[in-house]
Amino acid sequence: DREGDLPPWYTILRVYRRLEAQGRIRGGRFVAGFAGEQYALPEAVTALRKVRRQGKTGELVSISAADPLNLVGIIAPGHRVPATPKNRILLRDGVPIAFREGSETHFLEDPSDQRWALSKALGRQPVPPAVRAYLGNRP
């Protein structure tokens, strides 16, 4: 298990409640669909509210399954994608819609006429900052 050395939840909860009483973090229900107590920094709460007001944009983001953002099958419902760097997950508006495990692409919703575009987006990886700085604003 990746998190075997963590303290028990009740110990963490006492610390979070103390930080909340000091006004350093906020407690509440920030992410729909997840049960239990949730805590966030005040600036994160502001950012989450901004995203909620903006609504859905259809933005596609491809992440490595080894990324800490990979919660598919862990706390989010669905097939657990093994956390290896070559496996990828495609999110639309933060919701997983496809994943690549090994050489196989799996769709979590009907891709209809977007199958090719989604497969291409799934393989897209961000350009490292050092390379981005070198390339500048080139087309």
pLDDT digits (tens, 9 = 90+) for 48-60: 888 778 878 888 8
Distance CA 25, CA 5 (A): 24
pLDDT of residue 124: 65
More confident residue, 15 or 80: 15
Residues ≥6 apart with Cβ < 8 Å to 71: none
Q: What is the mean pLDDT of residues 85-104?
A: 84
pLDDT tens, residue by residue, 68-78: 767 776 666 66
Mean pLDDT in the chain?
A: 79
pLDDT grade for 128, boundaries at 50, 70 and 90: low
pLDDT of amino acid 51: 77
How far apart, in whole angstroms, are the C-alpha atoms of residue 73 and residue 139? 38
First to last CA, the chain: 44
